[in-house]
Amino acid sequence: MNNWELLMQGFSVAFTFSNAMAAFIGSLLGIVVGAMPGIGAAAGISMLLPMTFKMSPTAGIIMLAGIYYGNMYGGAYSATLLNIPGDTPAVVTALDGYQLTLKGKAGKSLATGNYASFIGGSIGIVFLTIFGPLLAEIGLKFGPAEVAALIFLALTSIGWLLGDDPVKGLVTACLGILLSTIGIDGASGNARYNFGSLNLIGGITFVPLVIGMFGFSQVLEMISDSKDFKVDGVKKLSIRESMLSWAEFKEIFWPSVRSGVLGNFIGFLPGAGATTGSFLAYILEKRIGKKRHTLGTGEITGVAVSEAANNAAAVGSFAPLLSLGIPGSSTSAVLLGGLMMWGLRPGPLLFESNPDFVWGLISSMYFGNILCLVAGMAVLPFLVSFLKISKRVMIPIIMVICLVGSYAVGNSIFDMGVMVTAGVVAFYLKKQAFPSSPVLLAFVLAPRLEVSMRQALSISQGSLWVFFEKPISAVILICTFALLLFPVIQKLIAFSKARKN
Amino acid sequence: MELAINLIIFLLSGYWCQQGLMVYTFWNKNQPGSGFIPVIFSVILMIFSCVLLIKEIKRIRMNHRQTSQTASTFSLSRIRPLLPVVYTIAAIVVFRFAGVVVSMFLTSFIWLLFISKVRLSKSLIISVIVTLLVYLIFVVWLRIPFPRSIFGF
């Protein structure tokens, strides 16, 4: 069957009652969670992950994917109305979005965000339909050495790109790898690093770790920042006043398409994610856009490029996740953890072994993206009162969800302790500018890295040459070393320049 | 704080490395052992944390030179986030003995009323809604076997 037929088959899966409902609920929840300032997609998905246990894997992942791209829509709302991005990708949206609010055009900004998100999301989904299977075909040619090299590159770029200091990113990535070694060693069957505890023999459970790192640490963050959110200058929004004129729509259309394409390719790269996508799209618009001189002063184009790019990147991150099993962002790492929990192993074989699942998910995205646009426009009149919900009220609610969710996965009080510990550690690491996302990405990827590396070395009788004799792994490793050495070279160049001066 | 974090990471990676080499076998009969990956990445981690440690010590020294009086002040804002941690641990203890319904109601209600200073009626309504949602989703729908209280829920 070709892609078109598979996609049509996927629609028949996506349009079953349970899957369509999952997409609807996911999109709506995503918008709500995204609009809540400071929570973010990874936290939202991790807290809602236990609610999908009873669902089929397809319905579960459709709902989680809906939360993810719904979140990208919702992130723009608090960025525009409060100048507080709902998630980091919406940081760029706040630049023009909040200025528009101050000018009394909050509705226009929010509607622009919705349209641009839809355009970016649609571009992402079309590209995923085309490139996802292609990437999987390439992935089928990978042996253990290539897989190990690819994961090594992914871990390096994740450490590099997330956070301000590459060394700190790499430190947290290594921490994630060490955490993943706790428990039974898959190859020998021996228990490792369990400190004599029976609870740790199976390793650290994924869900409590994620809930702690992204959900509970958020509670601590909210407590440490005593400022509450305030909606200034906007009393009421109506759909009619928010609608864009034809001229305004024309103004945002091409920049949105351009940013959508750019954002989608950024989403393919491990670690780059939606935030990098929206920043780069904004920079591109500043260079070549018609409104480049007034960008940042309250232009709807500024909102459009950021939103189109972050939505396209969010969908784009599904391509390496489904085709190669490599998550592009912390949110897709949570999704990967969810998939593995349901017994599915994302990678090149997933397209062949579970076509109903993969194409059902991709097809649901077409439907979910339309749902998000409709829901995004429908919530506009209620947004102001929704955003008035105080942080003081949100804290105990998040706390309860974190507690119950972390228990639900393994019916274990120990897991609740893991959640609290992970939250505290992630909070203090974040305070010292250590990004927490690499911990999670490495934790998810490391078991595959270990298996592939050990397989490759066993095949080659212990010779490291196995990683360099095949062209694909050799090229990937050269890229990895270049990435690792880049900061050193950069410093050397700066040092020699300084000496010359 | 950063100094302490880097030191802990350095010591932790040292432990991982020692265990990987001495207990779990790094290399055996031309094949990697259980300690192979832990040793490699713990060594990398030790190097990186060492770099950060040196950087931090240099930064502290520079600051020390610039400001002659460096009084180490204990800031309350640093331990403020520990309040929900203690509170959550207490909630887990209550959860263990009083069951999910009672503990989750108390967790949200006490926080709302006494820490968030939300009105009594509003605290009560929010807590009841949250508990009801938890009960419906996790107990009725997902059938999670939570610990039960003496009341049977």
pLDDT score for A193: 93
Contact A331, A143 (CB under 8 A): no
pLDDT in tens, B137-146: 888 888 888 8
CB within 8 Å: B104 and A413: no
pLDDT band at A389 (very low <50, low <70, confident <90, very high): confident
CB within 8 Å: A181 and B16: yes
Where in chain A are the domains? Answer: 3-225+235-500
pLDDT score for A35: 83
Mean pLDDT over the full length of chain B:
87
pLDDT score for B30: 82
Q: Is 70 exceeded by the pLDDT of residue A299?
A: yes
Among A355, A354, A328, A353, residue whose Cα is nearest residue A271: A328
Mean pLDDT lowest for which of A449-453, B23-27, B31-35, B79-83? Answer: B79-83
Residue that wins the pLDDT comparison between A324 and A84: A324
pLDDT in tens, A369-387: 999 999 999 988 888 777 7
Q: Is 70 exceeded by the pLDDT of residue A226?
A: no
The DSSP element (H or E) to which A183 belongs, if any, is strand A183-184
What interface predicted TM-score (ipTM) does this complex get? 0.90
Q: Distance (Å) from the C-alpha of residue A215 to the closest C-alpha of chain B?
A: 13
Q: Distance (Å) from the C-alpha of residue B114 to the closest C-alpha of chain A?
A: 11
All residues of chain B having their beta carbon less than 8 Å from the beta carbon of residue A400 are 104, 107-108, 130, 134
Chain A, residues 195-234, CB within 8 A of chain B, namely: 216, 219-221, 223-224
All residues of chain B having their beta carbon less than 8 Å from the beta carbon of residue A177 are 37, 41
Classified as helix, coil or strand, A351 is helix
Beta strands A191-192 and B27-28, pairing class: unpaired
Q: List, in order, residues 6 or more apart from B67 with CB less than 8 Å away.
A: none
d(CA A14, CA A368) in angstroms, rounded, equals: 10
pLDDT in tens, B51-84: 999 988 988 888 877 765 545 555 666 677 788 8
Mean pLDDT over the full length of chain A:
87
Token pair, residue B58, equals: 């240099």
The dihedral built from the CA positions of residue A161, A443, A473 and B26, taken in this order, carries a sign that is positive
Token pair, residue A442, equals: 């490495």
Nearest CB neighbour to A223, from listed B83, B137, B138:
B83
Q: Distance (Å) from the C-alpha of residue A224 to the closest C-alpha of chain B?
A: 6
Token pair, residue A259, equals: 């940013």
Q: Tell me how many residue pairs between chain A and chain B have CB atoms under 8 A apart.
A: 166
d(CA A66, CA A362) in angstroms, rounded, equals: 11
DSSP string, B1-65: -HHHHHHHHHHHHHHHHHHHHHTS-SEETTEE-TTHHHHHHHHHHHHHHHHHHHHHHHHHHHHHH
Q: Is 90 exceeded by the pLDDT of residue A138?
A: no
Residues A117-136 have a mean pLDDT of 93
List, in sequence order, the alpha helices (H) in A225-299: 239-242, 246-268, 273-288
d(CA B52, CA B47) in angstroms, rounded, equals: 9
Nearest CB neighbour to B142, from listed A390, A408, A423:
A408
In chain B, % of residues over pLDDT 90: 55
pLDDT in tens, B116-128: 889 999 999 999 9
d(CA A236, CA A224) in angstroms, rounded, equals: 31
pLDDT score for A52: 84
Nearest CB neighbour to B52, from listed A171, A397, A424:
A171
d(CA A205, CA A415) in angstroms, rounded, equals: 7
CB within 8 Å: B38 and A178: yes
Residues A288-296 have a mean pLDDT of 87
Does A292 lie at the interface with B, CB-CB under 8 angstroms?
no
